[in-house]
């Protein structure tokens, strides 16, 4: 009996000893002949993925939530990108000689054309309110909302917020008895819990993918927008999923899918549903989102900076600049102050301070503690409204 036979018997005994455990092992091989990847199952149990015996599962979650997920198609008017013919190697002199301008298509550069885009959304009220991403409906001149039964309706924007990437649209003349999604509480989430994503990637309607909640509180930058406090999941999220729900196995929405990492597998992001509810509520009530504003530019506190500022601590947010006419300016904060707490919550770095302020409300009074020339001081500051020039792009 050779060593391969011994190993084979050992593996069989080991797998048998698992005794009904739900386990699936995959071996990924490369087919040299066909130059393709093949997935060969080594062992699998009969238990389906993301199903708990006697409890919630992905199938029931999709049946509950799926009807409230819509497809959103938009049309916008954009200025086409006109190539500069003179930039073609060796052609600049030719075009300037005959046309007097390197851009042969210059006469048409002022023309505009229609651009179509697609995304997803979630119905949140019986009267036809739908939450989606701001980037899904950005600059749209026409919005079409398609229900799960393929009924199409025109939609209009109620409000949109660039900073959070949240928008609310309304179905014009909605049908009766619209299915409505249940919105959960993202403060209760735990890393590792199973989730599903529903949307319309590449216009494949009501596509469902499954995975787990991979991380909380992620910060990313995409398309010039700084996203804060995102949920990360390995459930596949593709173009067209934007605005669709991320849900738990009860079919309760825990987030709104918003971004993916290009050229990476298993890395998608969603906006926590508590943020969505806060922004959507204000958009519905006022048509726009008012973010709280302190009015400083800040940086990290290093040991050298702390020594220079005579600051006895090594954690905090250094005030680099106080914006004129801001709440910080009116309160007397100065460049060189080191903020160490807000309303008793410790501030370790600028990110902490930004997170704390973002969670507060416009007009709310906050107690800010800071060091100035080695002395611990405190001021009460009333938060203002973040200027539109900072919020929108």
Q: Which residues are catalytic?
A: 135, 165, 242
C-alpha to C-alpha distance for 268 and 227, rounded to whole angstroms? 13
For residues 229 and 219, is the Cβ–Cβ distance under 8 A?
yes
C-alpha to C-alpha distance for 130 and 183, rounded to whole angstroms? 12
DSSP one-letter code for 339: E
For residues 349 and 305, is the Cβ–Cβ distance under 8 A?
no
C-alpha to C-alpha distance for 102 and 83, rounded to whole angstroms? 10
C-alpha to C-alpha distance for 78 and 14, rounded to whole angstroms? 62
C-alpha to C-alpha distance for 287 and 284, rounded to whole angstroms? 6
41: how many CB neighbours lie within 10 A of its CB? 9
C-alpha to C-alpha distance for 329 and 294, rounded to whole angstroms? 9
C-alpha to C-alpha distance for 153 and 281, rounded to whole angstroms? 23
344: how many CB neighbours lie within 10 A of its CB? 7
- Retrieve residue 211's tokens: 């995975």
């Amino acid at each position: 009996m050779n060593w391969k036979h011994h190993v084979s018997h050992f593996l069989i005994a080991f797998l048998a000893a698992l005794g009904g455990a739900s386990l699936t092992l995959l071996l990924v091989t490369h087919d040299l002949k066909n130059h393709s990847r093949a997935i060969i199952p080594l062992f699998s149990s009969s238990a389906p993925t993301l199903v708990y015996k006697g409890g919630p599962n992905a199938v029931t979650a999709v049946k509950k939530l799926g009807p409230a997920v819509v497809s959103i198609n938009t049309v916008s008017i954009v200025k086409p990108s006109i190539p500069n013919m003179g930039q073609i190697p060796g052609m600049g002199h030719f075009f300037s000689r005959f046309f007097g301008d390197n851009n042969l298509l210059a006469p048409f550069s002022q023309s505009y054309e229609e651009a179509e885009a697609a995304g997803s959304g979630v119905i949140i009220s019986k009267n036809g309110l739908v939450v989606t991403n701001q980037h899904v409906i950005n600059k749209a001149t026409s919005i079409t909302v398609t229900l799960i039964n393929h009924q199409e309706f025109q939609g209009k924007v109620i409000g949109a917020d660039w900073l959070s990437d949240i928008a609310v649209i309304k179905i014009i003349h909605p049908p009766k008895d619209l299915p409505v999604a249940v919105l959960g509480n993202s403060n209760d989430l735990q890393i590792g819990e199973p989730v599903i994503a529903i949307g319309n990637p590449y216009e494949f309607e009501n596509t469902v993918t499954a995975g787990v909640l991979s991380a909380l509180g992620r910060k990313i930058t995409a398309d010039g927008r700084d996203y804060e406090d995102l949920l990360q999941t390995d459930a596949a999220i593709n173009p067209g999923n934007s605005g669709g729900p991320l849900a738990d196995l009860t079919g309760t929405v825990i987030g709104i899918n918003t971004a993916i990492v290009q050229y990476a597998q298993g890395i998608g992001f969603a906006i926590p549903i508590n943020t969505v509810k806060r922004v959507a509520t204000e958009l519905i009530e006022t048509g726009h989102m008012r973010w709280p504003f302190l009015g400083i530019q800040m940086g990290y506190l290093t040991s050298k900076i702390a020594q220079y500022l005579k600051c006895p601590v090594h954690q905090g947010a250094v005030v680099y600049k106080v914006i004129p006419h801001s709440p910080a300016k009116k309160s007397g904060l100065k460049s060189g102050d080191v903020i160490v707490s807000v309303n008793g919550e410790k501030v370790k770095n600028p990110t902490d301070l930004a997170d704390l302020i973002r969670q507060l409300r416009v007009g709310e009074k906050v107690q800010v503690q800071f060091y100035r020339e080695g002395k611990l001081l405190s001021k009460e500051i009333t938060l203002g409204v973040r200027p539109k020039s900072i919020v929108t792009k």
